[in-house]
Structure 1
Amino acid sequence: MIKTFTHEKLIRYLYNELPANEQQEIEQALLHDPKLASTCADLLLAQRCLNDLRTTPRKEVTDSILRYSRTFLVP
């Protein structure tokens, strides 16, 4: 029997958020379904790219905003 998995379930698998029995089901399916393995690899690459994104502004940007805001100070 061929079982299909949603992207949501694959993402939960990548983040280790599945119960052990569901995780084993996906791992078995990945061994036998090259298309599913490819989809999972694409999601893993996307996950790694998202994790590498900058979450804070560069110091130059912050400094520029602070400089600009000081022009509005009333003496």
Structure 2
Amino acid sequence: MTKTFTYDDVVRYIYCETTENENDLIVEALALDDDLMSFYIDSLEIKGQMNKIVRTPTERTIGKILGYSQQFSTKRPAALSF
């Protein structure tokens, strides 16, 4: 019986969340299914683009975090407030 792989399986493969056995089966499925291969190639490109995204907090945000953290002594645990 041939296993049918989904796009979710391909994403798991891209992020190395599959077993060695699954890897072999997914590679075979990619070779046989043009749509799955197109999704795989597109997903690799998107992953590469996402890895280039850099987010930097504003000075105001950093100041708020530092101000909040200075409220607490290092000798007692901080109480969480919601």
TM-score by length of 2: 0.61
Structure 1: state its 5+ residue gaps. Answer: 70-75
1:24 and 1:14 map into 2 onto residues whose CA distance is: 13
1:12 and 1:32 map into 2 onto residues whose CA distance is: 19
- The answer as to whether partners of 2:10 and 2:40 remain within 8 angstroms in 1 is yes
Counterpart of 2:68 in structure 1 is none
Counterpart of 1:36 in structure 2 is 36
CA RMSD across the alignment: 2.2
Structure 2: state its 5+ residue gaps. Answer: 65-82
Alpha-carbon offset, residue 28 of structure 1: 0.7
- The structure carrying a bigger helix percent of its residues is 1
How do residues 17-28 of structure 1 correspond to structure 2 at under 5 angstroms? 17-28=17-28
Task: Render the CA deviation track for 1:29-48: whole Å, top value 9, x for unaligned.
Answer: 11122211101111111111
Aligned identity (percent) is: 35
Alpha-carbon offset, residue 4 of structure 1: 2.8
Alignment coverage as a number of residue pairs: 62
TM-score by length of 1: 0.66
Counterpart of 1:45 in structure 2 is 45
